[in-house]
Structure 1
Amino acid sequence: MRSLLTPRRLIVVATAAELLVFLSFERETLLVSSAAVLGLLLRCRFPVLGLLLTLPSIAIGQVWLAPMLAMFDVAVTASRRRVVTACGTGLFLAAGCPWPLDSVTELTWQEHLLTVESSLMLSIGPIALGLLARTRAELKERLSELMRSQALGRRLEAERAVVRERSRLARDMHDTVSHHVGIIAVQAGALSATTTDEGVREDAEVIRRHSVSALEELRNVVGVLRGSDAAAASAAGRTQLADLAFLSRESRLDVTLDLDPALAAGSGGQWAPEAESTAFRTVQEALSNVRKHAPGAPAAVSVHMSDDRRALVVEVRNGSAAEPYEGPDLPVGGHGLTGLRERAALIGGTLEARPLEDGGFLVRAVLPAGVE
């Protein structure tokens, strides 16, 4: 519950008290009251000046609240303790100064002692409250800084944990995948060199070429995961749509490629490399799925710009399987299409993958081309 005696309401009360004094129409009272009202108005921007303007009102014993509020502001805002001490001393002297001055000799020592005590309370009280409020504000600010520092520390520790995990994944990927793919490349090369069958030699050469390409891409990806190879980071995954013709031939599938001539000629800086790479990976993964799930089925690949020339539209459509798959079981985890959706979402695109009524399958991606 909020207190009824807020600083602003206290100012209103003090100002009203000063204005009520005007009703006496005494010259001295009118002057000190006017100065006190002006001091209350200036106390927020000029606390020391505001205190000096309110001191006469307490000296003649008319209003005590106005200089106390001004002293509170000085204690809160003053950066030097000397200023607070000097202002507190001035308030103490003004509060202890009897009015009129010739009445000093008429006071008893008990009255003098009571005057000193009341002056001390009137001067020390606002100073103590102001310093307390100032300390509280400083502690609050330091606590906020500490919380921000802790949040930064947690974020940095999380980033370091991610870097360590990426390095571990890079080591495992390199040690495991490169070992098996390297053996495939070596064996395919040996088979290509020793066989006399032209068809087998051609197949072995395709296997060797794909193995070498896989090792190159693996090296780039490992460099990205380690974060130590800037060149690999920029090259990893940077494929071009002009390579789709080669990809279609090497897939050993019945693929019909419909590629926009402007796209086949090279990017030329007209669209983002991320969009081009995502489009290539979409076609690559879709053809891999055709090979695994619909062997012998014809596939149609279409890559064009949208009507407004601001997006790449990639479609891979295949029919139903023409023949049962008789090779070894291939690992199927469902991560390919999930990865394609994530790739498209990262650059602000969409990907649709659904079966067709004729038993085939459709993969369609719409990717922002980055054209201004």
Structure 2
Amino acid sequence: MTAARAWWARIPDPVVDLVVVAVAVVDVLVSLEDSSRLAQAMAALACAALLARRRFPLPVFLLTLPASLMLDIVFAPFAALFTLAERSRDRRLLVVCAVLFAVASATPWPLDDLSSHDRTWTLVYFFYTLATAAAPVLLGQLVQARRDLARRLEEIEEAREHERLLHSQAVLARERAQLAREMHDVVSHQVSLIAVQAGALQVAARDPDFKEGARTIRSLSVDTLDELRHMVTLLRASGGRATELTPQPTLADLHKLVTTSGIDAELTGELPPDVSTTAQRTIYRTVQEALTNVRKHAPGATAVVRLWHADDGDAFGVTVTNTPPARPSLPLPGSRQGLIGLRERAELLDGTFASGPTGEGGYEVTLHIPTQSG
């Protein structure tokens, strides 16, 4: 199945369109016998319109109906109907189009008075054609669903890979933190004792050489202890401990966060220059959680991250707004702990956090921080 899909994917779209038009022309030529100039013109229009079926599926389908009414053709309207079903999510529209095709195919041309017997066969042919028209509609919907599912599976796999990376980083951070504790509690303690003992020997020693050796041991122990303390600080910082040297995200990291979020997102606006470090981390985590939720629950949506501050200088914050999802999303479990955590972060700064759907069907989160707290 993968090899077949790869083979189809390698065929350029213009080549496929030319093949479709060629088959439609053959289908038309078979039915052109004793046809009028008007029918021939409508048939030519239907075949030519298939070249634009990917960009304008509904108008192209409508252009094939006159030829279906005047001639006994099926391929051109079927190709247009399949393309429309593949690209449209409006099932009512697809039903209406299938009925229109059945009416155009079943209605006799030229239009004249029909006997009761002819009307009966016309009705039978209508239902037969309607059932036949269901094939391209169902096939187009199947292709659309399969494409959406494949795209969603890719997104889930990317999310799982990201979670595995975060898990490995967390494990590494715990190991570094544990190593830092061992170095601090054991190694540093032992080296401190060596330095103390060497200092005592240096004071008590009578022999100059012995005194110099004790001084050297003490000096090396103190230098080693300083190096150990520096290494412990670095290990704790990389292990996620709350130290002054711990690398925490700031507003300078927002651009990278937005551009690497995996969605079509835009960063606009600005904040006051004197925003505290704690407020910068809170804004960063708010944007990070909001973009993660967009990617998880609104596949294909676009987002705008807007930094703002009040004209009177009393408050500032960030608003993340996303459009409605462009395709259906699979139901994924969620504990909503992320939004709860963002609300708690905002409360620590005497701010507020709000989230909810927009009138256009999207979603919006807003972080509001008073200037005195930020």
Task: Specify the code of the residue in structure 1 equivalent to 2:205.
Answer: T
Which residue does 2:203 correspond to in 1? Answer: 193
Which residue does 1:142 correspond to in 2? Answer: 152
Task: Specify the code of the residue in structure 1 equivalent to 2:114.
Answer: V
Q: Quick one: which of 33, 55, 67 aligns to 1:45?
A: 55
Which residue does 2:75 correspond to in 1? Answer: 65
Which residue does 1:242 correspond to in 2? Answer: none
Q: Taking structure 1 as the reference length, what is the TM-score of the superposition?
A: 0.56
Matches of 1:66 and 1:58, distance apart in 2: 9
After TM superposition, give the deviation of residue 170 of structure 1 in Å: 1.5
Which residue does 2:257 correspond to in 1? Answer: none
Alignment of 1:214 onto 2:224: yes
Superposed, which structure 2 residues align to 1:242-261 within 5 Å? none
Matches of 2:128 and 2:48, distance apart in 1: 25
Which residue does 2:287 correspond to in 1? Answer: none
Superposed, which structure 2 residues align to 1:223-262 within 5 Å? 223-227=233-237, 228=241
Matches of 1:70 and 1:146, distance apart in 2: 33
Which residue does 1:168 correspond to in 2? Answer: 178
State how many pairs are aligned: 234
Task: Specify the code of the residue in structure 2 equivalent to 1:94.
Answer: A
Which residue does 1:182 correspond to in 2? Answer: 192
Q: Is the 8 A contact 1:32 1:57 kept in 2?
A: yes
Which residue does 2:99 correspond to in 1? Answer: 89
Residues 14, 2 of structure 1: alpha-carbon distance in 2 compared, 3 angstrom cutoff:
farther
Q: Quick one: which of 33, 38, 42 aligns to 2:43?
A: 33
Q: Quick one: which of 98, 102, 112 aligns to 2:122?
A: 112
Matches of 2:21 and 2:132, distance apart in 1: 17
Which residue does 2:162 correspond to in 1? Answer: 152
Q: Quick one: which of 98, 102, 105 aligns to 2:108?
A: 98
After TM superposition, give the deviation of residue 202 of structure 1 in Å: 2.1
After TM superposition, give the deviation of residue 176 of structure 1 in Å: 2.2
Per-residue CA deviation, residues 342-364 of structure 1 (Å, 9 max, x unaligned), is xxxxxxxxxxxxxxxxxxxxxxx
After TM superposition, give the deviation of residue 31 of structure 1 in Å: 1.2
Q: Unmatched 5+ residue regions in structure 1?
A: 235-372
After TM superposition, give the deviation of residue 152 of structure 1 in Å: 1.2
After TM superposition, give the deviation of residue 102 of structure 1 in Å: 0.9
Which residue does 2:141 correspond to in 1? Answer: 131
Superposed, which structure 2 residues align to 1:74-85 within 5 Å? 74-85=84-95
Sequence identity (%): 33
Which residue does 2:315 correspond to in 1? Answer: none
Task: Specify the code of the residue in structure 1 equivalent to 2:49.
Answer: G
Which residue does 1:203 correspond to in 2? Answer: 213
Q: Is the 8 A contact 1:21 1:30 kept in 2?
A: no
Per-residue CA deviation, residues 224-267 of structure 1 (Å, 9 max, x unaligned), is 11224776689xxxxxxxxxxxxxxxxxxxxxxxxxxxxxxxxx
Matches of 2:23 and 2:214, distance apart in 1: 97
Per-residue CA deviation, residues 283-306 of structure 1 (Å, 9 max, x unaligned), is xxxxxxxxxxxxxxxxxxxxxxxx
After TM superposition, give the deviation of residue 2 of structure 1 in Å: 5.6
Matches of 1:89 and 1:75, distance apart in 2: 14
Matches of 2:106 and 2:69, distance apart in 1: 8
Task: Specify the code of the residue in structure 2 equivalent to 1:15.
Answer: V
Partner-residue secondary structure (3-state), 2:114: helix
Partner-residue secondary structure (3-state), 1:101: coil
Which residue does 2:353 correspond to in 1? Answer: none
Q: Unmatched 5+ residue regions in structure 2?
A: 248-374
After TM superposition, give the deviation of residue 110 of structure 1 in Å: 4.4
Task: Specify the code of the residue in structure 2 equivalent to 1:191.
Answer: L
After TM superposition, give the deviation of residue 200 of structure 1 in Å: 2.2
Please provide the CA RMSD for this pair: 2.9
Residues 78, 233 of structure 1: alpha-carbon distance in 2 compared, 3 angstrom cutoff:
closer
Matches of 1:22 and 1:89, distance apart in 2: 24
After TM superposition, give the deviation of residue 43 of structure 1 in Å: 0.7
Per-residue CA deviation, residues 312-349 of structure 1 (Å, 9 max, x unaligned), is xxxxxxxxxxxxxxxxxxxxxxxxxxxxxxxxxxxxxx
Residues 194, 173 of structure 1: alpha-carbon distance in 2 compared, 3 angstrom cutoff:
same
After TM superposition, give the deviation of residue 197 of structure 1 in Å: 2.5
Which residue does 1:273 correspond to in 2? Answer: none
Larger radius of gyration: 1
After TM superposition, give the deviation of residue 23 of structure 1 in Å: 7.6
